[in-house]
Amino acid sequence: MTNTESALVRFHAGVASDSQGRQIAEILGWDDDRLEFVHDYIQWLFPLPERSAFNPDAPILTTADIAAFRQRPDLQASLDAAFRRMLAFYGFEEVQAEGGLEIVRSAAFPQKASNWLRPGNHNLLRISRILRALTQLGLAHRARAFLVALETLYEEQGERIGPVTLSYWRQAVR
């Protein structure tokens, strides 16, 4: 690791803070209420190459960042830990199935979904961000597995998600 690495790479490597002085381990240790009501961390956990309309202090993902995430196991592990934390927040979990990784609803899903599974909820946008970041940063297989779980949910409760949101989720994984 060098000082020429971006703040985003150093944050995910666990050696630097975000723009609010928080380490990644601290954020991943937050309870669900804090994850719900704090809005300026998701862009650090799941960066994109465009400026955030909601967090002007968020990093912008660069081609060098993408290369670093795709090449470094420590950054992949950090991104995966962030993904698993957000899966738990939404009421999902990873399981190993015959065909590989599968994402399923956890026992806590009904309670967790009551917090976010409704039209226009900001978490629907967060999920789009998560899917897109995973795809761009080398964890596309996890994004695809999550999309399968979300599509199944849409089949059952499409009115709570909406076709436009589903189309964003699908496009994020392309």
pLDDT for the residue 69: 98
**Mean pLDDT calculated for residue range 39-64:** 93
pLDDT for the residue 2: 55
pLDDT for the residue 1: 54
Number of residues that this document lists for the chain: 174
**Mean pLDDT calculated for residue range 95-104:** 88
pLDDT for the residue 3: 62
Q: What type of residue is 91?
A: G
Judge whether 93 and 106 are in contact, CB under 8 Å.
yes
Judge whether 76 and 24 are in contact, CB under 8 Å.
no
pLDDT for the residue 96: 86
pLDDT for the residue 151: 98
- The pTM of this model reads 0.95
